Structure 1
Amino acid sequence: MRRILLASHGHFASGLKSSIDILAGESSGVTAIDAYVDNSDYTAAIREFIDSCTPNDEAVIFTDILGGSVFQKVALEQPEHHGVMHVTGMNLAVVMECLLTPEKLTKESVDEICAAAASQLRRVQVLNEEATDNSGEGFFS
């Protein structure tokens, strides 16, 4: 089974899950942890996710910020020792691709998915005035 945990500061994780549910349909394989929205300790939820994964699962934990406190809590649980991959810097593109790819999730395939998602991150600049006439014509030319 493919299992994904989204863990973030604030409501980013549940917001991302909401977007996934809209775009890909209700996904029971995706769990969200919104850290620091109340005084509860979310470490147990991370541990529970890791412990519930079996060797046959394709499991990935996504965190929001490299080196951030949520990242650190996940890293301290050493998910890789349980066959669970940890990816940080999550965005909708990388999570959707990991969720929907028909390919088996391996370290190599997840690295490729991360590289492809990172290549989509860029500053957008409209290069011609035709695109600003609100007609939609010329925007993608």
Structure 2
Amino acid sequence: MRKYYLMTHGKMAEGIQATIKMLLGDKKTLDALSAYVDCNDIELLSKPIFEDLSKGIEVVVFTDISHGSVNQFFVPFLKHQNFHLITGVNLPLILSIMLLSEDTKLEVDQILSEIEFAKEQIIYMNTHTIQISDDDEL
């Protein structure tokens, strides 16, 4: 079993969670934890994550900013074999990780491959060659 969490500064997590639910339906669940909104205690917000880790559940935590307080809070948990911390997230990255098979434990090379894919999804469209026909609506 694998559980997915997204903790961000503010309500970014809730917005991404809603989009994931729209795209994946009830197939997979992403739990959104919005830091510094209603609760300033990250440890309290993270209680479900700690409980899952203690049960031996494989946990993937996505965060927004690598050097931010949210991500740094989870760094000590990297010692757990069933814990994955991925920061600097975007929607393609979260989707691609969540769509990986849960039949086996996540491997480092799988995660790194999905991170590379997600990086490729960041494109400055003004310099990107695209084909637009006259029939396309604006």
Are 1:62 and 1:86, in contact at CA under 8 Å, matched by a contact in 2?
yes
Name the SS for the 1:131 alignment partner: coil
Segments ≥4 residues shifted beyond 3 Å: 130-133
Which amino acid letter does the alignment assign opposite residue 117 of structure 2? Answer: A
1:113-128 equivalences under 5 Å are 113-125=114-126
Q: Distance in 1 between matches of 2:39 and 2:3?
A: 26
Task: Give the stretch that moved more between structures: 20-29 or 7-16.
Answer: 20-29
Match of 2:109 in 1: 108
Name the SS for the 1:102 alignment partner: coil
Are 1:62 and 1:88, in contact at CA under 8 Å, matched by a contact in 2?
yes
Matched, 1:46 2:46: yes
Q: Distance in 1 between matches of 2:115 and 2:129?
A: 28
Name the SS for the 2:80 alignment partner: helix
Are 2:5 and 2:62, in contact at CA under 8 Å, matched by a contact in 1?
yes
* Alignment RMSD (CA, Å): 2.6
Percent identical: 28
> Which deviations, in whole Å up to 9, do the C-alpha atoms of 1:74-128 show, x marking residues without a partner?
224x144252110000111111111112374212111111111111111112758
C-alpha displacement of 1:14: 1.0
Match of 1:95 in 2: 94
Are 1:33 and 1:42, in contact at CA under 8 Å, matched by a contact in 2?
no
Match of 1:22 in 2: 22
Gaps of 5+ in 1: none
Are 1:50 and 1:84, in contact at CA under 8 Å, matched by a contact in 2?
no
- Going from structure 1 to structure 2, the CA distance change for 1:124 and 1:84 (only over 3 Å counts) comes to same
Which amino acid letter does the alignment assign opposite residue 67 of structure 1? Answer: H
Aligned residues between the structures = 134
Gaps of 5+ in 2: none
Match of 2:62 in 1: 62
Name the SS for the 2:122 alignment partner: coil
Task: Give the stretch that moved more between structures: 95-104 or 84-93.
Answer: 95-104
- Going from structure 1 to structure 2, the CA distance change for 1:16 and 1:2 (only over 3 Å counts) comes to same
- Going from structure 1 to structure 2, the CA distance change for 1:114 and 1:50 (only over 3 Å counts) comes to farther
